[in-house]
């Protein structure tokens, strides 16, 4: 008997018809891994760099991706290996290179390495693509992309791809930045919006350098209602700080936008909740290992402590690499974005997000 309770079930995507690129289905279960070469590093703002990656053999990038997906980058720093996920910002129609856009986090480990130590010509081990936060143009007739800071990067890939495809639908991009110096891809987005009538660019500034930059303030539900025409009827994608996404999503849903029309992507793991989990016997049956879990510890952390090596990347419930089947027991999950309804029915869980509520047997 197994039971999975979801604490923060994010809305699942509903597709009106199959996505254009068959690779999307393939990507749900498989990914490419290998090495790409850094061809160029583009300075987007004082803290943000775009790394342009190409195939070592030349020619096309060795995998396809959907706009909105991300890749996992391996970093070897001081003899240790780390993995981090970065959104792809280039168009999915561009096959000669792939861009990832990285913000140098002041207390980060991998992002300063990527922004400051990595040089053109270096090789990066990557895996991907991952993620179901995708928009290809088949899901709706119009879309609202709401992003703040580096959270706009998946939307840049979506916009570039939709315009490359000459998509006939209406795009509303509502982007929030501190000021013009820190605004990402601004010239390109302004120029695209001036050229393509289907792209409507709306900006807001939290700390503008000049009074001419209007409106002043962060992204709020009120700003969305004021800015987006017929806001109730749209499909929303939100990416940025967790508090912005939670606030906007709950307000839209409260005002009648169906919950499955407001999709979110978190760049960071959900905040840790030490009250979750507890001391239970956990069995990893294929490894033949039993261990007692600890308070506040996810099943992935329990597995690592037990020497059961499970794959993982994002630690936020979006990549699906840590997926395993719960054979017996009761778990609570913080997020389950990477799982499809049929996965959940089969008892699949994301071990990085799952906390035991009883003794558990895991098919791992
Ligand atoms: S590590 Fe990505 S979903 Fe768990």
Strand, helix or coil for residue 155: helix
| Beta strand ranges found along the chain (DSSP E) | 2-6, 32-45, 48-54, 70-77, 80-87, 98-103, 123-130, 142-148, 170-177, 199-205, 235-239, 262-265, 281-284, 289-292, 323-333, 348-350, 354-356, 360-363
Verify whether ligand 1 is closer than 6 Å to residue 314 (CB atom).
Answer: yes
ipTM above 0.90, yes or no: yes
Domains along the chain?
Answer: 26-130 (2.40.30.10), 142-265 (3.40.50.80), 272-363 (3.10.20.30)
Task: Check residue 14 and give its pLDDT.
Answer: 28
Verify whether ligand 1 is closer than 6 Å to residue 331 (CB atom).
Answer: no
Position 106 confidence tier, pLDDT thresholds 50, 70, 90: confident
Verify whether ligand 1 is closer than 6 Å to residue 157 (CB atom).
Answer: no
Verify whether ligand 1 is closer than 6 Å to residue 322 (CB atom).
Answer: yes
State the average pLDDT over residues 149-155. 95
Verify whether ligand 1 is closer than 6 Å to residue 323 (CB atom).
Answer: no
**Residue owning the nearest CA to atom 3 of ligand 1:** 317
**Gap from CA of 320 to ligand 1 centroid (Å):** 5
Position 7 confidence tier, pLDDT thresholds 50, 70, 90: low
Nearest atom in ligand 1 to the alpha carbon of residue 320 is 3
Verify whether ligand 1 is closer than 6 Å to residue 130 (CB atom).
Answer: no
Position 212 confidence tier, pLDDT thresholds 50, 70, 90: confident
**Alpha-carbon distance 52 to 99, whole Å?**
4
**Gap from CA of 337 to ligand 1 centroid (Å):** 9
**Gap from CA of 175 to ligand 1 centroid (Å):** 27
Position 10 confidence tier, pLDDT thresholds 50, 70, 90: very low
**Gap from CA of 352 to ligand 1 centroid (Å):** 6
Tens of pLDDT, residue by residue over 261-278, are 999 887 666 667 889 999
Position 11 confidence tier, pLDDT thresholds 50, 70, 90: very low
């Amino acid at each position: 008997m197994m039971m999975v309770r979801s604490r923060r079930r994010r809305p699942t995507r509903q597709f009106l018809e199959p996505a254009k690129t068959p690779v999307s289905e393939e990507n749900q279960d498989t990914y490419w891994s290998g090495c790409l070469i850094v061809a160029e590093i583009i300075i987007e703002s004082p803290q943000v760099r775009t790394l342009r990656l190409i195939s070592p053999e030349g020619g096309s990038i060795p995998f396809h991706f959907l706009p909105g997906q991300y890749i996992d980058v391996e970093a070897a720093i001081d003899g240790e290996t780390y993995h981090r996920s970065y959104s792809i910002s280039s168009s999915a129609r561009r096959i000669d290179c792939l861009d990832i856009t990285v913000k140098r986090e002041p207390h980060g480990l991998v992002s300063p390495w990527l922004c400051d130590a990595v040089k053109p010509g270096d090789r990066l081990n990557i895996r991907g693509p991952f993620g179901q936060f995708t928009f290809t143009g088949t899901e709706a007739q119009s879309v609202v992309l709401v992003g703040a800071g580096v959270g706009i990067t998946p939307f840049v890939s979506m916009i570039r791809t939709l315009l490359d495809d000459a998509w006939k639908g209406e795009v509303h991009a509502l982007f929030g930045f501190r000021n013009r110096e820190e605004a990402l891809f601004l010239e390109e987005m302004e120029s695209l919006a001036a050229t393509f009538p289907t792209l409507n660019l709306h900006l807001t500034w939290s700390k503008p350098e000049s009074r001419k930059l209007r409106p002043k303030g962060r992204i709020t539900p009120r700003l969305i209602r004021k800015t987006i025409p017929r806001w109730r009827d749209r499909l929303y994608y939100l990416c940025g700080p967790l508090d912005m996404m939670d606030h906007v999503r709950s307000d839209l849903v409260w005002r009648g936008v169906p919950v499955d029309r407001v999709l979110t992507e978190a760049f960071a793991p959900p905040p840790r909740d030490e009250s979750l989990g507890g001391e239970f016997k956990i069995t990893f049956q294929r490894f033949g290992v039993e261990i007692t879990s600890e308070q506040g510890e996810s099943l992935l952390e329990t597995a690592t402590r037990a020497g059961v090596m499970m794959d993982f990347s994002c630690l936020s419930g979006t990549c699906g690499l840590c997926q395993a089947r719960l054979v017996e027991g009761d778990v609570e999950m913080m997020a389950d974005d990477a799982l499809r309804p049929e996965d959940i029915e089969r008892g699949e869980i994301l071990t990085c997000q799952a906390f035991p509520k009883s003794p558990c047997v895991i098919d791992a």
